[in-house]
Chains A and B, each alone.
Chain A
């Protein structure tokens, strides 16, 4: 019996098999339930590797679970999986204040790391609301965000390297500076479907010397949103730009009394930070706010006042949670300029369903969290709430957004993936999963919808050919038909700027464009992209260059021509997007072996924005980042998932 094999490795007390004990691992912070066949508590990478090898041998599915704070059923043990809980692997293995790097174990709670870093004047930037409890391993699994992402980026921006136990039990050491595709980028946000993270090398940032917090109220939500874009256009990237609608403010004030204005249509909580005096930034923000019709502008003058303002924001979830046994927290994201529309749609959906929704959002990122109260024991209500939640996600997709900004897909939003991605893209996800986990053992039935169900659900992505793209596809198909291998297609005719969304700070361009040309185009609108090298954009991406800030943080999405002649589309015009595998990262540095990039979505910035306002990740850490045979094997498997016949060279 395999349970005995586990016990031999971990000891009797570290394998839970009792009915009650297993029942207590049947849930996370959402609604789904499934009982695991056992719960295992390893303490070393070696032990996890041995456990997973046993799972691999007997074809036992397994799920890694940290603190179980997931909001979308991400750690529910489906298919009688065993739970592997590395909650005792919570050591900080090293902190290097010079290089600003920490190496930690996956079970470490996020806030514990922050506390340990304080004496060094450093911090780990991602700050999900559950940071008191949630673990670094879980953060990596979902590519967690938080209010400070606007300036500091999400988890993916701060993970430099990973040690992972693969679904076959092998141990792989991954680093963003290894040659070839960015495998770290693929694993971050893969929700445990590609193995278990056992160690992470994290990027640290200095704690800023000055922090200032403001609360600004507006008569309408639209005015507040325009202010958000206007602030960024002024070359100011606040650390946080949080918004709450009137209903939320009223709920919070009833509970917390943080002094938020209950008569305003919306409020913004703006925080700026930096190592130099912030007075001019605050002044500029105040001017922008009043130009956009702000009502009240309140600057926190002391630490206590600052704390009070944050208390109101942090209180938005608790003030609801205390009112009902369940709160559905949705997690869509849309292009920033679409926030008012998204809000209207969400309100309409709620009204039609006859439920009350309150809205808080990371306005700077376009990431919104509708919160709906209910009681799961009321089955009819629960159904209604779930359906409304789904419709809200659909609304986000229709506006060019995504179904998850930071919480993940898990089992709850799997079906919604069909709206967001084309069948070709979903099929590629399945091939990647299959290549790396052929027996579907790692966190089964999560993230990717099955190929067979969901008939009749149509992708909302509007796929159409852009200029000169069809000729490339034709060329590929004819070369394929001739049985050619190792081909390389030129994209030099793909030179159009497809869309520049100024308010959202994104540009969608064809991949053959010269960076110089793109910069000239953007300069007319007083914007720029942060690309150091000049030349053909697609080639720069495929080559993968080391620049500051890293290229990997600039690319938000791509359309890629695959070897089978189909087009897959990843990412969106949103700042935060954790839906599906982050395949864009695989194309970075892939050298054209995986597919032909047709177009790219890039972040843009105000032209005058000094680089110094961005907390820059390091560029020169490539030392000691060679790859071994395990990593080579992974690259090979990924190549097979993309291009089994070796069409591309």
Chain B
């Protein structure tokens, strides 16, 4: 019955429209939305975004491209859906919303852009070829020089910001796997963020997985589709999701994902694609916190002093799936960890992939609140599961305090740095 209310050109968005009209505008989502809280503007709120989307589909907003800012400022952190009585998935509606508000009017240019991105994401070895020389320029200081004299900014403000934010530029993206085989088989999926920016995280995760007796296998795989989705290419995201499912169809072993953003996106394949295969696949994906939540480690060198730790929950896990328990269980199980919960641990850090490049001021204000909450815990280590958060929080701490004592670590890095071999498995009775 919804079809009669939608403009003919948007008939393919009937399902999205049905989700959108569920909103009864109670406004409960406002105060959990980071962009609303820092600006106080309805135009940067979940309710406003959803109403804009609905009104475009109904033909009540005549120039959809004028709404592109309303949609692109969404962090897709999903905090709103969690407090919504009707469970309106505003974050998930933003990809189709951005697409209808696409400013690029020339179809073939748009299509070319999308196809190029899809191709690179599907064949990450080509992306590597493309990124490697850029990273080399960064390493030897050329990009920094160009940036400091303003040439990069002239070329692209986003590129200039990226150059500043990225502190390390690795040139080796491969993970060395141990020849020793553990008891259980596991597929290793490396998110684009960890793969290109923090390959060391991947390396540490592998070590931890080996310590807890997994036999890890890793082959070059495509992007999970999150990047395409963020770029408003829903079809591309679906294609990449299908590719990924196919890629891992050779076995039924669990799939380990080293970046929580990808992990969350892949948990949602069932919903994105529908169908049994996608739902089954979603059940196979795991992150490190899930795998080690019941494991107990000794601290290195028989040291008994405690490490004060807090935890930032990445949106794609903390908000989208409220999966905040496993990491806390793990930390509480370790006698040498003093866990300090921070206020609003699921409040977005403002990183949100390329968001921090597109909307630097907003991103910075949102980050400010996160940093305040982190500092209030007086923790030495903040654990972050997604590379986008790591990049953002690290950059924030670096900009504010050159010698910040707070370290941002992935759980894999944290275990590798502080823990000795696994002591026991709390699932099983001790021998």
Chain A residues packing against B (C-beta within 8 Å): 16, 18-21, 23-25, 27-29, 39, 41, 67-69, 85, 87-88, 90, 107, 109, 111-112, 130, 132-134, 317-318, 321-322, 324-327, 375, 377
Q: Mark B60-87, 1 if CB is under 8 A from A, else 0.
A: 1111001100100000000000010111
| A319 nearest in chain B by CB position | B85
Whether a CB of chain A sits under 8 angstroms from the CB of B170 is no
- B43 contact set on A, CB distance < 8 A: 16, 20-21, 24
In contact, B40 and A90 (Cβ under 8 angstroms):
yes
Whether a CB of chain A sits under 8 angstroms from the CB of B321 is no
In contact, A133 and B22 (Cβ under 8 angstroms):
no
- B48 contact set on A, CB distance < 8 A: 24
The minimal Cβ–Cβ distance linking A265 to chain B, given in whole angstroms, is 26
In contact, B25 and A28 (Cβ under 8 angstroms):
yes
A sample of 17 cross-chain residue pairs with beta-carbon separation below 8 angstroms, ordered by A number, consists of A16-B41, A19-B61, A20-B52, A20-B63, A20-B66, A20-B67, A24-B48, A29-B24, A41-B40, A87-B41, A107-B40, A112-B31, A130-B26, A133-B26, A133-B29, A317-B85, A322-B86
In contact, A67 and B30 (Cβ under 8 angstroms):
yes
With A20-B52, A23-B52, A29-B26 already in contact, 8 other A-B pairs whose C-beta atoms are closer than 8 Å: A69-B26, A85-B42, A87-B41, A88-B40, A111-B31, A134-B27, A322-B22, A326-B24
Whether a CB of chain A sits under 8 angstroms from the CB of B337 is no
Task: Known A18-B66, A23-B61, A24-B70; judge A68-B24 contact (CB<8 A).
Answer: no
In contact, B24 and A325 (Cβ under 8 angstroms):
yes
* Alpha-carbon gap, A222 to B55, bound state (A): 46
In contact, B31 and A19 (Cβ under 8 angstroms):
no
The minimal Cβ–Cβ distance linking A29 to chain B, given in whole angstroms, is 5
In contact, B28 and A133 (Cβ under 8 angstroms):
yes
* Alpha-carbon gap, A204 to B282, bound state (A): 50
In contact, B27 and A67 (Cβ under 8 angstroms):
yes
In contact, A325 and B22 (Cβ under 8 angstroms):
yes
- B27 contact set on A, CB distance < 8 A: 29, 67-69, 130, 133-134
- B61 contact set on A, CB distance < 8 A: 19-20, 23
In contact, B31 and A132 (Cβ under 8 angstroms):
yes
In contact, B87 and A322 (Cβ under 8 angstroms):
yes
- A325 contact set on B, CB distance < 8 A: 21-24
- A132 contact set on B, CB distance < 8 A: 28, 31, 83
- B373 contact set on A, CB distance < 8 A: none
In contact, B52 and A85 (Cβ under 8 angstroms):
no
* Alpha-carbon gap, A39 to B86, bound state (A): 28
* Alpha-carbon gap, A85 to B43, bound state (A): 12
- B51 contact set on A, CB distance < 8 A: 23-24, 27
Residue among A29, A111, A112, A322 making CB contact with B25, cutoff 8 Å: A29
The minimal Cβ–Cβ distance linking A395 to chain B, given in whole angstroms, is 25
| Chain B residues numbered 1-31 whose CB sits less than 8 Å from any CB in chain A | 5, 21-31
In contact, A321 and B24 (Cβ under 8 angstroms):
yes
In contact, A27 and B25 (Cβ under 8 angstroms):
yes
The minimal Cβ–Cβ distance linking A408 to chain B, given in whole angstroms, is 15
In contact, B85 and A318 (Cβ under 8 angstroms):
yes
| B23 nearest in chain A by CB position | A325
* Alpha-carbon gap, A614 to B85, bound state (A): 35
| Chain B residues numbered 86-120 whose CB sits less than 8 Å from any CB in chain A | 86-87
| B49 nearest in chain A by CB position | A24
| B44 nearest in chain A by CB position | A24
* Alpha-carbon gap, A325 to B51, bound state (A): 12
* Alpha-carbon gap, A127 to B48, bound state (A): 25
* Alpha-carbon gap, A604 to B8, bound state (A): 63
Residue among B5, B30, B55, B85 making CB contact with A377, cutoff 8 Å: B5
The minimal Cβ–Cβ distance linking B117 to chain A, given in whole angstroms, is 27
The minimal Cβ–Cβ distance linking A15 to chain B, given in whole angstroms, is 12
* Alpha-carbon gap, A24 to B51, bound state (A): 7
* Alpha-carbon gap, A317 to B22, bound state (A): 14
Residue among B5, B23, B31 with most chain A CB within 10 A: B31
Residue among B5, B28, B40, B86 making CB contact with A85, cutoff 8 Å: B40
In contact, A322 and B28 (Cβ under 8 angstroms):
no
The minimal Cβ–Cβ distance linking B114 to chain A, given in whole angstroms, is 24
* Alpha-carbon gap, A324 to B26, bound state (A): 13
- B66 contact set on A, CB distance < 8 A: 18-20
- B23 contact set on A, CB distance < 8 A: 325
* Alpha-carbon gap, A67 to B28, bound state (A): 9
- B26 contact set on A, CB distance < 8 A: 29, 69, 130, 133, 321
- A19 contact set on B, CB distance < 8 A: 61-63, 66
- A68 contact set on B, CB distance < 8 A: 25, 27, 42, 47
Residue among A24, A69, A321 with most chain B CB within 10 A: A24
- A109 contact set on B, CB distance < 8 A: 31
* Alpha-carbon gap, A39 to B60, bound state (A): 19
The minimal Cβ–Cβ distance linking A76 to chain B, given in whole angstroms, is 12
* Alpha-carbon gap, A130 to B85, bound state (A): 12
- B5 contact set on A, CB distance < 8 A: 377
| B67 nearest in chain A by CB position | A20
Residue among A25, A132, A317 with most chain B CB within 10 A: A132
The minimal Cβ–Cβ distance linking A428 to chain B, given in whole angstroms, is 34
| B4 nearest in chain A by CB position | A377
* Alpha-carbon gap, A130 to B24, bound state (A): 13
| A28 nearest in chain B by CB position | B25
| B58 nearest in chain A by CB position | A377
* Alpha-carbon gap, A21 to B66, bound state (A): 9
* Alpha-carbon gap, A23 to B61, bound state (A): 8
Residue among B25, B26, B67 with most chain A CB within 10 A: B26
* Alpha-carbon gap, A70 to B61, bound state (A): 24
* Alpha-carbon gap, A372 to B24, bound state (A): 13
* Alpha-carbon gap, A21 to B49, bound state (A): 10
* Alpha-carbon gap, A46 to B146, bound state (A): 45
| A321 nearest in chain B by CB position | B85
In contact, B25 and A24 (Cβ under 8 angstroms):
no
Task: Known A23-B60, A24-B43, A326-B24; judge A321-B86 contact (CB<8 A).
Answer: yes
- B55 contact set on A, CB distance < 8 A: 23
| A83 nearest in chain B by CB position | B42
Closest 5 CB pairs of A and B: A87-B40, A318-B85, A69-B27, A88-B40, A24-B48
* Alpha-carbon gap, A107 to B30, bound state (A): 13
* Alpha-carbon gap, A11 to B40, bound state (A): 15
The minimal Cβ–Cβ distance linking B41 to chain A, given in whole angstroms, is 7
- A107 contact set on B, CB distance < 8 A: 40
Residue among A20, A85, A324 with most chain B CB within 10 A: A20
| B21 nearest in chain A by CB position | A325
The minimal Cβ–Cβ distance linking B89 to chain A, given in whole angstroms, is 13
- A24 contact set on B, CB distance < 8 A: 42-43, 48, 51-52, 70
The minimal Cβ–Cβ distance linking A136 to chain B, given in whole angstroms, is 13
The minimal Cβ–Cβ distance linking B264 to chain A, given in whole angstroms, is 24
- A23 contact set on B, CB distance < 8 A: 51-52, 55, 60-61
* Alpha-carbon gap, A67 to B39, bound state (A): 12
* Alpha-carbon gap, A24 to B40, bound state (A): 13
- B22 contact set on A, CB distance < 8 A: 322, 325
| B64 nearest in chain A by CB position | A20
The minimal Cβ–Cβ distance linking A526 to chain B, given in whole angstroms, is 43
